[in-house]
Amino acid sequence: MTITLAGSALEIGDRTSAHRISTCSFEPAAHARLIHIPDGGWRAAIVGLGEPWALDPVRDLNLRAPCSSNSGWVYRLSGRLERELLHADFASSVAIAGILVQMLSELARTADGARERRPRWLEGLRMHLEQDFRSPVRLQELARGANVHPAHLSKAFLRAFGCTVGEFIREQRVEYARRQLETTALTLSEIAVAAGFADQSHFAKTFKRLIGLSPSDYRTATGERYGP
């Protein structure tokens, strides 16, 4: 099982698939694969499922074919996983096993087709928000662009991605900020503005709520030593 924590990569094997932020994927052990990592880099947790904690869930969930999920639940779980990896303590092994079992459950739902097929307008909206998350967003404008009612858009988005439109945008901004903290010397205020936050205070509060660390602490924990 592969959980992308930062960056992106392209996997080439029996099928071609993209690993990006908020993506969790499963590949049976027998499947050969080649992973291409672009210049921007890729950080991921690659987990073997032969450990005792995984054997029963994999069998019970009947995971056999390659599958992936990029729902809001996976985003939140990957954030929790990274916090446990960065700040391991006596309970981390149990916590990590629990997080990974939840991810397996999400993958099983995707593989089983339990979630309804996403309409084209919804996938288009997701791609738009991933590319233009810095700009102010109004639900009415998004609904008009998708030619659906705002209430229908809200319900469909939550059902498909496990989060509201507002939560999705905040997650995209935080992910952008994480990359800047890891790879640039920009100040926190510069990153806040570049990511689309109203100010540094709003950025810091949102970042800590989603990631579990302040921006400064995260920059230190990931090995960078840039100034505030």
Average pLDDT, rounded, for the chain? 81
Ranges 21-25, 34-38, 78-82, 191-195: which has the least confidence:
34-38
What is the distance between the terminal CA atoms of the chain, rounded to a whole angstrom?
A: 36
118-228: CATH number = 1.10.10.60
Domain parsing of the chain, residue ranges = 2-112, 118-228
84: nearest Cα among 3, 167, 194, 169: 3
| Residue in this structure with the two tokens 């009612």, named with its chain if needed | 149
Q: What is the pLDDT of residues 50-106, one digit of tens each?
A: 777 676 777 777 776 777 777 777 777 887 888 888 778 888 888 888 888 888 887
